[in-house]
Structure 1
Amino acid sequence: MSRSITGAVAKWSDGPRRRAAMAVASLTAAAVGLSVLAGGTASAGAAAGGGAGPVVTRAALDPALVAGRGASVGFAEQEAENAATNGTVIGPGRTAYTLPAEASGRRAVSLTPGQYVEFTLPAAADAITVRYSIPDAPGGGGITAPLDVTVNGKNRTTATLTSQYSWLYNQYPFSNDPNAGLLHPDYWVTECGCVPAATTPAPEFATPFRPNHFYDEQRLSLGRKYRAGDKVRLTVPAGSKASATTIDLLDSQLVGAPHVAVVAANVLAFGADPSGRRDSADAIDRAIAFAQRTHLKVYIPPGTYQVNRHIVVDDVTIEGAGSWYTIIKGHEVTLSTPAWGHPRPEVGGGSVHTGVGFYGKDAAAGGSSNVHLSGFAVEGDVRDRVDTDQVNGIGGALSNSTIDGLYVHHTKVGMWFDGPMTNLRITNNVITDQIADGLNFHTGVTHSLVSNTFVRNSGDDGLAMWSEKTGNAGNTFDHNTVQTPVLANGIAIYGGTDNTVSDNLIADPIREGSAIQVGSRFGSEAFTGHLWITDNTTVRAGTYELNWNIGLGAIWFFALEKNIDADIRVTGDHFLDNTYNAIMLVSDWPVKDLYSITNVHFKDIRVDGTGTSVVSGRAAGSSSFENVDARNVGAVGVNNCGSFHFTPAGSEFALTDLGGNDGGGTTGPWLAPWELPNTITCDDRPAVVAPPAPSAW
């Protein structure tokens, strides 16, 4: 989500998702770094030419630690730092604006020309996805650089990597220009003591200012099926323009045969060009119109189809041959006049660009229904963030519809829905390398589901329900994986009624957010009814909030605009390797005496490792705890500041012990009797003790 601030006290914008900083008074002005967690460079774990067996992970974890949680995907993830290489392992590090922090597992391998990283296939595969970073051009805009790919030393293919879709700079809404000065000098600017010196060189605000969003990914067909044990080597050839090529991970998979629909409106019959040389948007429109008249499906066979605008869909089924075979790819197009409609013109400006996307009709025009999209990729061309732009992969209002098996890449938001709308089922998708959110249920989305969807490298919240003006109700985010959101949260719920977040895996949030947020903010409607947050796993979350200059929780509740007092139950969740806290309940300083957080219940929770505390309380209110087990706690189990009045009666935040709360760290049981019911134990910035790697409970 996004916000604007002028001065040191937050002034929250009513504009569309403007992001800048938060200002919270603190007990001390001393800045705290993450040097104990930042790491440096090290020699590669596997020796050059080594024959180490394949290490398959999920979110850089042993899969046994997350069994049954997250998306079930068709690829095997292998981290570069676990492969054979003659390059240099960078990290681990969690400091924002650095390459290790944005890497999966907070480590990667840096290669110079002539160096390689070699992966051993853990299963049969005929396709790979490489997540990488290469430098920007000196003046911005990106470069291209080659990467040689061989299997068993043969069949060399040269992939062309690009940094044209990465490397943003400066404050929100960011810039592609590394030489730009402050975009908004009137905005609150994060204390520079919180930002790595390497990315904020003297003098203050010198360029390049706060580079981020370093990584991109590329899919590559290997041309044939290879066996488990075969070796895929990625080598930076001599003469590469990239001074360093950073390889984060490799996903390998066996892609099935292309889907064929015989009885369908085949877009080729209506003039579509599978070579991508001619624009196929009008031909796809004609196929849709014919399919609607004849009650047929639309089929898009293998090929790359150029589409540079929205395809408006209603009462139609569109099937591709599979996301590796059917590619809908477009250029971002600058409009001569802004396109009004959505986003809302009353908050300033319409869409100034258009681009490839499949959109339901605007909700104000009745929306669309009975739309079924499956089996294709949407490849966008979005390189900067313009919040008024409608350049999302999927958008509009879609009721009684399904979206299945898509790959959405390089759009602004992978999928953004403006209600009112109901009964949308989103399953089995991959959304990567977005400029903003991965997916957002925005305003009046009801009884809808996102399941088994994989989101990586979103530029804002990975998955969000945003109940702005009209509440979302009865929705579920279930069995999804969100990795490395560069900004904001893995999963965020802003207001709404009777929603569920269950069995998800969220890893490696970077800054201005954490793994899961429950927030009363951004003009959202109040939380009512219930909110179930059940059986999720987070890892390497609980980030350092640069604007507040404190550590967050892996899950954090934020009362900014209203009380949070619905029935909220956090049950069966696992919070692993938390940089700071596992749980935080917080209100912003200017409203700390206006809003509180109550009726939150934690039960059957496991906390394995915190840099500081299990619970950080920085608001008025209360919560209950039952069977919350913790180990490897870096500081005191409960850091209870309440609303900072330090009254003789104790903290304004009360913790209720319902029993079974075991374990802790160096200070003894984490929920010790002397901390109940509301003893003040406030240390604004406790020392960080880096936790050990998670292990079986």
Structure 2
Amino acid sequence: MSRSTTPARRRPQRPLTAGAVVAVTALALLGGGPAAAATRPSGAQPVVTRAALDPALVAGRGAKVGFLEQEAENASTNGEIIGPDRSAYTLPAEASGRRAVRLTPGEHVEFVLPSAANAITVRYSIPDAPNGGGITAPLGVAVNGKHIRGMTLTSQYSWLYNQYPFSNDPQAGLLHPDWWITECSCVPSATTPYPTISTPFRPTHFYDEQRLLLGRTYRAGDRIRLTAPAGSAAAWTVIDLLDSEVVAPPHVRLLAANVLAFGADPTGRRDSAAALDRAITFARRAHLKVYIPPGTYQVNRHIIVDDVTIEGAGSWYTIIKGREVALPTPAPDGSVHTGVGFYGRDAADGGSRNVHLSGFAIEGDVRERIDTDQVNAIGGAMSDSTIDGLYLHHTKVGLWFDGPMTNVRVTNNIIVDQIADALNFHIGVTNSLVAHNFIRNTGDDGLAMWSETTANARNTFDHNTVQSPTLANGIAIYGGRDNTVSHNLIADPVREGSGIHVGSRFGAQPFAGHLRITNNTTARAGTYELNWNIGLGAIWIFALDRSIDAAIEVVGDAYLDNTYNAIMLVSDWPVKDLYSITNVHFRDIRVDGTGTSVVSARSAGSASFANVDARNVGAVGVNNCGSFHFTPAGSEFALTDLGGNDGGWLAPWLLPNAITCDDRPPVSPPPPPARW
């Protein structure tokens, strides 16, 4: 259908800083150490959180969702609480809130329902098979002491290893021996003797989740017990959290092109792709909507949509499920597989318009990352279109749009357990909105705008929740004009990225006009950057391909419990004397807890600060290295104090450009965030 569907990660460079820079210390990752053995009594009261935080701390931020989140570590258990730990390649690091509960066979965790519920979602991890490929294992579900049904957990969609784009083989050697790796501080292929890298190397993407209708509605105060049965094939089962909700009855559309009338099979035994095509063709002629009633429909290829409305009975009831299918020969776009997905026409062919998709789930079968493959849940180009109320699971990217296209609204979707991004606006997407989407466990950026050859413009990411991206960022903007990132909640990025990212990279078009980043909250962000061997900021602005000089307004954000620093402005070592970052303005910001600094400047340029309040700062307020020339005139990066910056972090002696370059200061874990 279209070209490569995720930006290739750049070949890692040598570390960002020169070896002569002082104050290098051993890495002190926040919350490391062995698992904590602990249990909670059976009478524990329900603790409802949002991104493992007190909901009062994130009021007005993130997606409006129909479920209530409960962290397993706050429930009753005779298992073991693991974490907190933010070290990459560990189970706690990828857990919501960086803690979870580990069960061995026979152990349980029990949640008290905070509100009525007839459905649950369980986020979990079980081991991989010794040679990769995953296993299955049972999980018992009981209510008020009575077993009601079991779930079959799987690790077939989890457990990736090695370097980008990763391997399913836990015993694989280095995929790129000519890349810099932190583990040996070397380029292995250029090293004599060749270093031994232990396997499995860099395990990641541990978690998956499953949904379950309980068969009836239970009351607040009823107890949901999850048990790893004795004799389970899984040596351990980690439970991260439970989401509970009341799912409404199935939606019915009587006056519509019902896919059953065109031969679709709701049992999933026969392929229904051709039946969906026939229903779409008839609906367009008859000016009707397409209706997909409850059932599981097997679809193993793209369904092409244009000028059509397709409604399901609700994402819990209408399931479009497919296998990943190897193509006999590669497609013109480089795909070697196809799979289930709803695709607009290619932009080069005029794209699609007036497409409206709602009320169904897309369950894919993607278990490896092949960037050329078009195995996304939603793809192509769709102007004047809406995607609302879908559940997207086990595809490569939830929604990947290749423009030019305009006026698409992506709202109220749940996008989880993706191999790469949840959503990417790629090439010339304009005047579009992404709002109230819930995203968890992506293998790359949660939400991204990538202006690779044509600028994305006048788009808004608003009121979305992004949790636990295992690689890269919660929200990333790569070039473009007059875009907005507002009222989002981003938590627990794991490695080589952070909460919010503004990047001149991946060949993106220049930033122009304004980029407005307003009223967002990040939690436990600021990850360890493997290739640079330093920590990133909760928000980080990166000049790699060119200077960044468009107006960037960061207003009203809250950066909570930052692993390293809250704000970073950085250029890569090979281009530090070529590019700079200017015209950046921070105002009305709250920083509650940093492992190191409030601001880390590792670039030439400047930024202004007004009403930026900080507390629980782990090191000096400003780490100002500039472009590492340490001139007598001071750093090449200047800070402007516009007043109201409370907490003592921006002391007068730091202004405008005092050199305060501590390359890798010790990390001081901050206390948990609290109301300001």
TM-score w.r.t. structure 1 length? 0.94
Are 2:39 and 2:78, in contact at CA under 8 Å, matched by a contact in 1?
no
Shift of 1:42: 1.7
State the secondary structure of the residue aligned to 1:148.
strand
Answering whether residue 314 of structure 2 is matched by residue 322 of structure 1, we say yes
Determine if the alignment matches structure 1 residue 672 to structure 2 residue 651: yes
Describe the superposition over 1:570-626 as per-residue Cα deviations: whole angstroms up to 9, x where unpaired.
000000000000000000000000000000000000000000000000000000000
Number of matched residues?
Answer: 663
Q: What amino acid is aligned across from residue 248 of structure 2 in structure 1?
A: G
> Residue 142 of structure 1 aligns to which amino acid in structure 2?
G
Q: Contact 2:182–2:530 at 8 Å: present in 1 too?
A: yes
Match of 1:687 among 663, 666, 672: 666
The 1-side partners of 2:410 and 2:513 are apart by 24
Match of 1:5 in 2: none
* Structure-2 change in CA distance of 1:156 and 1:354 (3 Å): same
Q: CA deviation at 1:520?
A: 0.1
Cα 1:555–1:462 shift into 2, 3 Å: same
Partners of 2:341 and 2:431 in 1: CA distance: 24
- Tell me the equivalent position of 2:470: 486
Kept in 2, the 8 Å contact 1:14–1:523? The answer is: no
The residue that corresponds to 2:272 in the other structure is 280
The equivalent of 2:255 in structure 1 is 263
Aligned counterpart, 1:517:
501
**Aligned to 1:654, what secondary structure does the other structure show?**
strand
Indicate the structure whose relative CO is greater, using CA pairs within 8 Å and at least 6 residues apart.
2
Which residue identity is paired with 1:278?
R
> Residue by residue, what CA displacement relative to the aligned partner does 1:187-222 show, whole Å, maximum 9, x if unpaired?
22233479xxxxxxx973122111100000000111
Q: Equivalent of 2:574, from 582, 590, 605?
A: 590
User: Is residue 428 of structure 1 aligned with residue 422 of structure 2?
Assistant: no
* Shift of residue 37, structure 1, vs aligned partner: 2.0
| Cα drift, residue 352 of structure 1 | 0.3
Which of 34, 37, 41 does residue 31 from structure 2 map onto? 37
Residue 696 in 1 paired to residue 672 in 2?
A: no
1:613-624 counterparts in 2 under 5 A?
613-624=597-608
- Whether 1:540 and 2:520 are equivalent positions in the alignment is no
SS at match of 2:36: strand
Letter in 2 for 1:420: P
Distance in 2 separating the partners of 1:35 and 1:493: 27
How far is 1:377 from its partner?
Answer: 0.2
Residue 209 of structure 2 aligns to which amino acid in structure 1? Answer: E
- Is contact 2:394-2:418 (8 Å) kept? yes
Q: 1:289-438 alignment to 2 at 5 Å?
A: 289-341=281-333, 350-438=334-422
Report the CA distance shift for 1:191/1:37 in structure 2 as closer, same or farther (over 3 A): same
What is the CA deviation profile of residues 649-671 of structure 1, one whole-angstrom value per residue up to 9, with x for unaligned ones? 000000000000000xxxxx100
Paired position in structure 1 for 2:189: none
Please list the CA deviations of residues 336-378 of structure 1 after superposition, one character each: whole Å capped at 9, or x if unmatched: 111114xxxxxxxx00000000000000000000000000000
Given that 2:6 and 2:420 are in contact with CA atoms closer than 8 Å, whether structure 1 keeps it comes out as no
Query: How far did 1:21 drift?
Result: 2.7
Shift of 1:15: 9.5
Unaligned runs of 5+ in 2: 187-193
Following TM superposition, by how much is the alpha carbon of 1:184 offset from its aligned partner in structure 2, in angstroms?
1.7
Give the whole-Å Cα distance in 2 for the aligned partners of 1:355 and 1:29: 51
Q: Aligned residue for 2:211? A: 219
Q: SS in structure 2 opposite 1:43?
A: coil
1:406-440 CA distances to partner (integer Å, 9 max, x unpaired)? 00000000100000000000000000000000100
Structure 2 counterpart of 1:632, one-letter code: N
Post-superposition offset of 1:28: 5.2
Uncovered stretches (5+) of structure 1, i.e. residues with no partner: 1-12, 195-201, 342-349, 664-668
1:18 is matched with: 9
Write the distance in 2 (CA, Å) between the matches of 1:386 and 1:420.
Answer: 24
Q: CA deviation at 1:544?
A: 1.4
* Equivalent of residue 553 in structure 1, options 514, 517, 537: 537
Q: Distance in 1 between matches of 2:486 and 2:548?
A: 20
Amino acid across the alignment from 1:503:
H
Contact 1:16 1:388 in 2 (8 A): no
**Structure 1 contact 34–95 (Cα < 8 Å) conserved:** no
Distance across 1 between alignment mates of 2:7 and 2:243 = 35
Check the 8 A contact 1:355/1:380 in 2, yes or no: yes
Deviation at 1:16, TM superposition (A): 4.7
Query: How many angstroms apart in 2 are the aligned matches of 1:583 and 1:30?
Result: 20
- Opposite residue 32 of structure 1, the aligned amino acid is A
Higher mean C-alpha deviation, range 149-158 or range 577-586: 149-158
Q: Supply the distance in 1 between the matched residues of 2:25 and 2:380 (Cα, whole angstroms).
A: 44
How far residue 392 of structure 1 moved from its aligned partner, in angstroms, is 0.2
**Secondary structure, aligned partner of 1:336:** coil
2:242 maps to 250
Bigger mean CA deviation after superposition, 528-537 or 543-552: 543-552
Whole-angstrom CA distance in 2 between matches of 1:136 and 1:14: 27
Q: Is the 8 A contact 1:398 1:424 kept in 2?
A: yes
Please give the alpha-carbon distance, in whole angstroms, between the structure 2 residues aligned to 1:45 and 1:552: 34
Change (3 A) 1:336 1:68: same
Superposed CA deviations along residues 49-95 of structure 1, whole A, max 9, x for unmatched, are x2111000000000000001000100000000000000000000000
Distance in 1, Cα, partners of 2:627 & 2:269: 61
The 4+ residue runs of structure 1 with deviation greater than 6 A are none
1:112 maps onto 2:104 in alignment: yes
CA apart distance, 1:236: 0.5
132, 140, 146: which one aligns with 1:148: 140
Q: Secondary structure at the match of 1:33?
A: coil
Offset, 1:18? 3.4
Q: Which residue of 2 aligns with 1:636?
A: 620
Aligned to 2:48: 56
Match in the other structure for 1:176: 168
Question: Cα offset for 1:401?
Answer: 0.2
Query: Once the 2 structures are TM-superposed, how far is the Cα of residue 25 of structure 1 from its aligned partner?
Result: 2.7
SS of 2:81's partner is: strand
Q: Establish whether residue 651 from structure 1 lines up as the match of residue 642 from structure 2.
A: no
Q: Does 1:95 align with 2:74?
A: no
Mark the CA change 1:20 to 1:482 in structure 2 (over 3 Å): closer, same or farther. farther
Secondary structure, counterpart of 2:26 in structure 1: coil
Using the alignment, how far apart are the partners of 1:438 and 1:143 within structure 2?
25
Q: CA deviation at 1:551?
A: 1.0
Local SS of the residue matching 1:285: helix
TM-score normalised by length of structure 2:
0.97
Q: Is the 8 A contact 1:554 1:575 kept in 2?
A: yes
| Cα drift, residue 647 of structure 1 | 0.4
After alignment, is 627-636 or 153-162 more displaced?
A: 153-162
How far apart are the structure 2 equivalents of 1:14 and 1:426?
A: 18
For residues 155 and 45 of structure 1, the distance between their equivalents in structure 2, rounded to whole angstroms, comes to: 22
Match of 1:7 in 2: none
Q: Deviations over 1:210-253 (max 9, x none)?
A: 11000000001111100000000000001101001000000001
CA contact under 8 A between 2:140 and 2:147: conserved in structure 1?
no
CA RMSD of aligned residues (A): 1.5
Shift of 1:185: 1.4
What secondary structure is seen at the aligned counterpart in 1 of 2:93?
helix
- TM-superposed CA distance for 1:20, in Å, is 4.7
Q: Aligned pair in 2 of structure 1 residues 547, 333: CA closer, same or farther (>3 Å)?
A: same
Q: Secondary structure at the match of 1:340?
A: coil
How do residues 463-502 of structure 1 correspond to structure 2 at under 5 angstroms?
A: 463-502=447-486
Within 2, Cα distance between the matches of 1:107 and 1:193? 30
Q: Is the 8 A contact 1:14 1:522 kept in 2?
A: no
